[in-house]
């Protein structure tokens, strides 16, 4: 086992792997610890949508970081695929929101205003006949649609894997194991007990999603984060989709391998990750209402993962209060893949430069002190 490293990262999701990538770029020796493997939790089971324009805290306090992170995605996708040897299928994607009643249109009007206000993004109304021309398999009862342009998508599992593979090619190492205790010396950590053995480090990053709460006892700080379960069903339609669709309580994400990901539920069940029949039935029922032809699709996979949700809905990024060399990179909720590069770069900057130009000042852990 590697027993000494410059920076030890606990957590192999998008944030932890992005931190490993940007630190390795700066020639920092990195060891990443994961219980099950890279992208084994939410980062590997999400639909991979990159929408910096909407979501919890967007528009709002997360907007600046979302746009910055989106720009990083755009800027380094080709380079990252080359460095890692992993293809994660980055691509532009249009989302079509579908209305079946007049009350649906007011939210769509807000979406149009948001997308039309930012360069590189746009939205356009579609009448019922135009909707059905774009996608003849849509439910013909649809009365109106809105097509939003400017977003992107990728494979979350492959993207997160690519981040770490590229880091590994630059010297980072992976430990499969469980961190159970932090070795402290004054206001610093000097190491972590992993699989019963000490691994010594110059700095520690905790990027374990909802499991970040375990570090409260190690560090005597508050990390108010909880797991929210999300379930997705992957299906293979007889006719591939050309766009993403949202309506009737379902979102259909078409992906490069021809599958459609039907998502997603949100339930609070603690750390229970088991997929449920009730969630599958709910998702498929909504999908069939939106696009009846999907009843003939093959059900390929049904997954569940746990998203890290903080008490105020905002991520936790920065130096742990009271500790000189411990950093938190967690709490991105449903935006983990989008925000991962921004969070990782911010933490890498803080460790190597002592400051960052990423918009993370309001997400520091000391707000819960």
* CATH number of domain containing 303: 3.30.9.10
Residue where a domain stops, chosen among 310, 333, 358: 310
- Mark whether 220 and 232 lie in a shared domain: no
- Mark whether 54 and 175 lie in a shared domain: yes
- Mark whether 211 and 100 lie in a shared domain: no
Q: pTM of the predicted model, to two decimals?
A: 0.96
- Mark whether 252 and 292 lie in a shared domain: yes
**CB-hemisphere CA count at 13 Å for 277?**
0
350: containing domain: 4-85+156-224+311-368
Total domains in the chain come to: 3
- Mark whether 69 and 170 lie in a shared domain: yes
pLDDT of residue 63: 98
- Mark whether 103 and 67 lie in a shared domain: no
φ/ψ (deg, to 5) at 327: -130, 145
Tell me how far CA of residue 361 lies from CA of 17, 51, 56, 284, 314, in angstroms. 21, 22, 18, 41, 12
- Mark whether 11 and 50 lie in a shared domain: yes
- Mark whether 160 and 62 lie in a shared domain: yes
Per residue of the chain (369 residues), give pLDDT as tens: 559 999 999 999 999 999 999 999 999 999 999 999 999 999 999 999 999 999 999 999 999 999 999 999 999 999 999 999 999 999 999 999 999 999 999 999 999 999 999 999 999 999 999 999 999 999 999 999 999 999 999 999 999 999 999 999 999 999 999 999 999 999 999 999 999 999 999 999 999 999 999 999 999 999 999 999 999 999 999 999 999 999 999 999 999 899 999 999 999 999 999 999 999 999 999 999 999 999 999 999 999 999 999 999 999 999 999 999 999 999 999 999 999 999 999 999 999 999 999 999 999 999 998
- Mark whether 242 and 355 lie in a shared domain: no
- Mark whether 294 and 364 lie in a shared domain: no
Please, are residues 196 and 181 in contact by the beta-carbon 8 Å criterion?
Answer: no
């Amino acid at each position: 086992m590697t027993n000494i490293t410059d920076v030890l990262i606990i957590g192999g999701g998008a944030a932890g792997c992005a931190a490993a990538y940007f630190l390795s770029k700066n020639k920092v020796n990195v060891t990443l610890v994961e219980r099950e493997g890279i992208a084994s939790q939410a980062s590997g089971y999400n639909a991979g949508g990159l929408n910096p324009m909407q979501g919890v805290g967007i528009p709002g306090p997360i907007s600046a970081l979302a746009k910055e992170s989106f720009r990083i995605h755009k800027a380094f996708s080709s380079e990252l695929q080359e460095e890692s040897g992993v293809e994660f299928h980055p691509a532009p994607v249009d989302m079509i929101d579908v209305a079946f009643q007049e009350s649906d249109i007011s939210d769509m009007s807000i979406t149009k205003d948001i997308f039309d206000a930012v360069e590189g993004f746009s939205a356009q109304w579609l009448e019922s006949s135009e909707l059905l021309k774009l996608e003849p398999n849509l439910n013909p009862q649809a009365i109106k649609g809105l097509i939003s342009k400017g977003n992107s998508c990728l494979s979350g599992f492959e993207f997160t894997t690519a981040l770490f593979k590229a880091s590994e090619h630059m010297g980072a190492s992976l430990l499969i194991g469980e961190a159970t205790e932090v070795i402290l010396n004054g206001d610093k950590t000097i190491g972590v007990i992993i699989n019963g053995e000490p691994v010594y480090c110059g700095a520690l990053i905790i990027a374990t999603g909802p499991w970040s709460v375990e570090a409260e006892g190690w560090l005597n700080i508050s990390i108010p984060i909880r797991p929210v379960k999300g379930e997705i069903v992957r299906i293979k339609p007889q006719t591939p989709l050309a766009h993403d669709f949202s309506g009737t309580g379902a979102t259909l994400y078409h992906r490069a391998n021809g599958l459609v990901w039907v998502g997603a539920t949100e339930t609070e069940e603690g750390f229970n990750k088991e997929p449920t029949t009730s969630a599958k039935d709910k998702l498929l029922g909504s999908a069939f209402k939106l696009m009846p032809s999907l009843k003939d699709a093959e059900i390929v996979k049904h997954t569940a993962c746990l998203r890290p949700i903080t008490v105020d809905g905002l991520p936790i990024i920065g130096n742990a209060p009271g500790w000189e060399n411990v950093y938190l990179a967690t709490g991105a909720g449903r935006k983990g893949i989008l925000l991962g590069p921004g969070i990782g770069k911010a933490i890498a900057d803080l460790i190597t430069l002592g400051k960052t130009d990423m918009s993370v000042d309001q997400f520091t852990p000391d707000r819960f002190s």
